Amino acid sequence: MEIEIFELERRQSLWENTVEYNLTESGFHPYKLKELLSKNQILELQDLQLGYGQTNGSIELRETIAKLYKNINLNNILLTNGSAEANFIAMWSLLEPNDEIVLMLPNYMQIWGIAKSFAVDVKPINLKQNLDWGMDIEELKNIVSKKTMMIVLCNPNNPTGSILTLDQMNDIIEIASEVGAWIYVDEIYRGAELDGREIPSFIGMYDKVIVTGGLSKAYGLPGLRIGWLIGPEIEIEKAWAYHDYTSISTGLISQKIANWVLQPEKRPELLNRNRSMLKENVQVMEKWIKKHQNKLSFVPPKAGGMAFIQYNININSTELTKRLKNEKSTLIVAGDCFGMDNYLRIGLGSEKEYLLAGLNRIEEIIEEY
Ligand SMILES: Cc1ncc(COP(=O)(O)O)c(C=O)c1O
């Protein structure tokens, strides 16, 4: 089956380890194991027997995750290798050729690519910069029809860092319920809100909701490859059967660590560390944009680890990012990866000095125009 290149991931994979400044990351500077775990926990890991474990995720970890949501239990959860696998399995198990979905754009383009390869009809609902990257609910009403089987959201949004208000969430639910559509929400950036107030999950707000979450972004632990899919028991059991065909299970070491970091006494420590990094870097970015305000503008993100920047210099975004990579050894994401030329995505989750150094390199090119 044909699938189009996932440009966002491919460009990162090709270059992120060879440049001096990689500002493509949309998550936070990852933890080292020794920063995360106590000596006793490290000793406990040495005693771990490296079997497959329970393939839908250990009971203790799913019970811990269930406590992070309202009115669910461990049977509503499938543990996956990152949220990427959760997204893939969900789409594979739910979608049929010629189905119609309505997809929030811009977005992490994984579901866009998967749905197209499954011959699904993808109808975009574009977030609006003049609404601070909010959604025009009237427009959504006009796009959703009786044919719509699913509305796909990313909340908080990658790449804009915008957040749906509670009213908008309720409006979207009303629109979906009128036609009996599913709502699928990638909530991987929940927990990375700048104001420290965790946004509500769609889980528990409507029967036909499936969400994904994971440790790669708000928690700064992408290397653990821990994600999860949450939804009605019957859908999760079905997804589990698909998971048997992809990776069988997630790593036991990762599951053990995930269970430790998601405990109520540990979890806030990780989220607060990452939010304060984000707060500091948003200020750095605001200052930098102001300095170049005749060429650059952005709506400051409300969550997540990135800034989505509009530029008005005369160069295509892929060309601009190529110049940056080749001449300045600095990698950022071209708006083209989201189908939006004249935009750039710059990661805000790194250490401040690193971000500043990368921005200096970008500035050297921008000033030539
Ligand atoms: C919105 C979104 N969903 C899913 C993923 C994949 O995350 P994971 O590393 O958990 O597979 C990403 C990665 O950038 C993302 O931005």
Cβ(315)–Cβ(306) below 8 Å: no
Residue 249, pLDDT score: 97
Mean pLDDT calculated for residue range 301-311: 97
* pLDDT, mean over the chain: 97
Residue 211, pLDDT score: 98
Residue 101, pLDDT score: 98
Q: Residue for token digits 């198990």?
A: 93
Name the residue of 83, 153, 308 whose CB sits within 8 Å of the most ligand 1 atoms, as the mutation to test its pocket: 83
Name the residue of 88, 105, 158, 225 whose CB sits within 8 Å of the most ligand 1 atoms, as the mutation to test its pocket: 158
Least confident range of 25-29, 56-60, 346-350: 25-29
The whole-angstrom separation of Cα 135 and Cα 129 is 9
Q: Class of 7-32+268-366 per CATH?
A: alpha beta
CA-closest candidate to residue 194, choices 136, 104, 119, 277: 277
Ligand 1 atom nearest the C-alpha of 214 is 10
Instruction: Label residue 201 exposed, middle or buried (CB < 10 Å: 0-12, 13-18, 19+).
Output: buried
Instruction: Dump pLDDT digits (tens) for 143-164.
Output: 999 999 999 999 999 999 999 9
List b or e across 12-27, with b for residues whose CB sees 16 or more CB atoms inside 10 angstroms.
beebeeebebbbbbbb
H/E element holding 261? Answer: helix 252-261
Ligand 1 centroid vs 337 CA: distance in angstroms? 15
Least confident range of 3-12, 77-86, 108-117: 3-12
Joined together, the tokens standing for residue 38 give: 């106590």
Kindly report the number of other CB atoms within 10 A of residue 261's CB atom.
20
Ligand 1 centroid vs 87 CA: distance in angstroms? 9
Name the residue ranges covered by the structural domains of the chain: 7-32+268-366, 50-265
pTM of this structure = 0.97
**Is the bond leading into 106 cis (omega within 30 degrees of zero)?**
yes
Mean pLDDT calculated for residue range 26-50: 95
φ, ψ of residue 108 in degrees (nearest 5): -65, 120
| Nearest alpha carbon, ligand 1 atom 2 | 108
Ligand 1 centroid vs 6 CA: distance in angstroms? 13
For 69, residues 6+ apart whose C-beta sits below 8 A from its C-beta are 201, 203, 204, 230
Confidence of residue 119 (pLDDT cuts 50, 70, 90): very high
List b or e across 63-91, with b for residues whose CB sees 16 or more CB atoms inside 10 angstroms.
ebbbebbeebebebbbbbbbbbbbbbbbb
List b or e across 106-136, with b for residues whose CB sees 16 or more CB atoms inside 10 angstroms.
bbbbbbbbbbeebebebbebbbebeeebbbb
Ligand 1 atom nearest the C-alpha of 154 is 1
Name the residue of 217, 226, 228 whose CB sits within 8 Å of the most ligand 1 atoms, as the mutation to test its pocket: 217
Residue 124, pLDDT score: 98
Residue 328, pLDDT score: 98
The whole-angstrom separation of Cα 74 and Cα 63 is 5
Ligand 1 centroid vs 108 CA: distance in angstroms? 7
CA-based torsion, 79, 212, 145, 170: positive or negative: positive
Confidence of residue 72 (pLDDT cuts 50, 70, 90): very high
The whole-angstrom separation of Cα 201 and Cα 155 is 9
| Nearest alpha carbon, ligand 1 atom 6 | 84
Kindly report the number of other CB atoms within 10 A of residue 157's CB atom.
28
Residue 73, pLDDT score: 98
Confidence of residue 112 (pLDDT cuts 50, 70, 90): very high
Ligand 1 atom nearest the C-alpha of 226 is 10
Q: List residues near ligand 1 (CB under 6 A).
A: 26, 82-84, 108, 154, 158, 186, 188, 214, 216, 222, 227
Residue 33, pLDDT score: 94
The CATH number fitting domain 50-265, selected from 3.30.200.20, 3.30.1360.30, 3.40.640.10, 3.40.50.150: 3.40.640.10
Instruction: Dump pLDDT digits (tens) for 124-136.
Output: 999 999 999 999 9
Ligand 1 centroid vs 211 CA: distance in angstroms? 13
Instruction: Dump pLDDT digits (tens) for 169-214.
Output: 999 999 999 999 999 999 999 999 999 999 999 999 999 999 999 9
Ligand 1 atom nearest the C-alpha of 87 is 4
Type of residue at 278: L
Cβ(171)–Cβ(190) below 8 Å: no
Alpha-helical segments (H) within 67-148: 82-94, 110-117, 137-143
Residue 166, pLDDT score: 97
Ligand 1 centroid vs 227 CA: distance in angstroms? 9
